[in-house]
Amino acid sequence: MEKDGKPGEEASAGGGPENAFALVVEEHQRVVYAVALRLTGNAAAAEDITQETFLAAWKHLKGFRGESSLKTWLLRIAANKCRSYWRWRKLRSWVGLDERDKDGDGPAIGEILPDDPAGRPEQAAQAADLERRVQAAIAALPPRQREVAVLRAQELSVAEIAAALGMAEGTVKAHWFEARKKLAGSLGEYL
C-alpha cells in the first residue's frame, strides 16, 4: 500500500495534481499526525502541523526530486514544524504567557485527546489513561531521543530516521537504544 514515489507520477496515472495531492494526504496523514502528536503532546497543534506539513509539501512539490522518499520528506517537514512549535512554547514561557511550561512540558490530557474523555464511556477513559501515560513517557525523553522513538514507532528504518532527522545512522541507533530503555522503564507494566 505504501507509495513513496513522486506524487506527479501518481497524477500521470490518472487525474490532475489535485487528485495526486489527495492521494498523498490519504496515504501519509496518519503517520504525519502521529509524529506531530507524539512530538508536541497537543492535539490541536498536531492538527495544525499536519495541515501545514501537507500545504508546505504541496507548495514546494516542484522542488521535490524524488531522491528521498516522500514519507521521509514529509516527516522531516513535520519534525521541523514541531521544533518551531517548541521554540514558540519556550518563547511564550519566557515572556510569561504559558504558566504550565514552568512546571514542565507535560501536556494536559484534554490537549492530547480530540474528544473530552469525561463524556465518553469507561473503556474510553481507560484508553485515555493509557494515552496519558504513553505521552508522559515520551515527553520525559530528551528531544532527540523523543524524535527517534516517535519515528521508530512509525515503522521507519534507521536509515529513514537518519534521513528525516539529519542524523548519522549510528547516532539514531544510540538514541533509539537509550529511548527504548527509558520507555521500557516507564511503560514496563504494559509490556
Q: How far apart are alpha carbons 176 and 168 in whole angstroms?
A: 12
Among 16, 59, 62, 102, binds another protein (CB under 8 A): 59
Q: How far apart are alpha carbons 182 and 81 in whole angstroms?
A: 25
Q: How far apart are alpha carbons 26 and 20 in whole angstroms?
A: 10
Helix (DSSP H) and strand (DSSP E) numbers for the chain:
9, 0
Per CB under 8 A, 68 contacts another protein: yes
- Judged by beta carbon, residue 68 or residue 171, the one nearer another protein is 68
Compute how many other C-beta atoms are within 10 angstroms of the C-beta atom of residue 108.
11
Which residues in 135-154 contact another protein (CB under 8 A)? 138, 149-150, 152-153
Among 48, 101, 105, 169, binds another protein (CB under 8 A): 48
- Least distance from C-beta 56 to another protein, angstroms? 5
- Least distance from C-beta 54 to another protein, angstroms? 5
- Least distance from C-beta 60 to another protein, angstroms? 5
DSSP letter string over 75-131? HHHHHHHHHHHHHHHHHHHHTTS-GGGGG-SPPPHHHHSSS-GGGS-HHHHHHHHHH
Q: Per-residue string for binding with another protein, 82-121, x by CB under 8 A?
A: --xx-xxx-x----------------------x-------
Among 155, 157, 159, 168, binds another protein (CB under 8 A): 155
| Residue 22 region by backbone torsions, left for phi larger than 0, else alpha for psi between -120 and 50, else beta | alpha
Q: How far apart are alpha carbons 55 and 59 in whole angstroms?
A: 6
Running DSSP on this structure, what letter comes out for residue 140? T
How many residues bind another protein (CB under 8 A)? The answer is 57
- Judged by beta carbon, residue 65 or residue 102, the one nearer another protein is 65
Query: Binding residues for another protein, per CB under 8 A?
Result: 18, 21-22, 25-26, 29-30, 33-34, 37-38, 45, 47-48, 50-52, 54-60, 63-65, 67-68, 73, 76-77, 80-81, 84-85, 87-89, 91, 114, 130, 134, 138, 149-150, 152-153, 155, 163, 180-181, 183-184, 187, 190-191
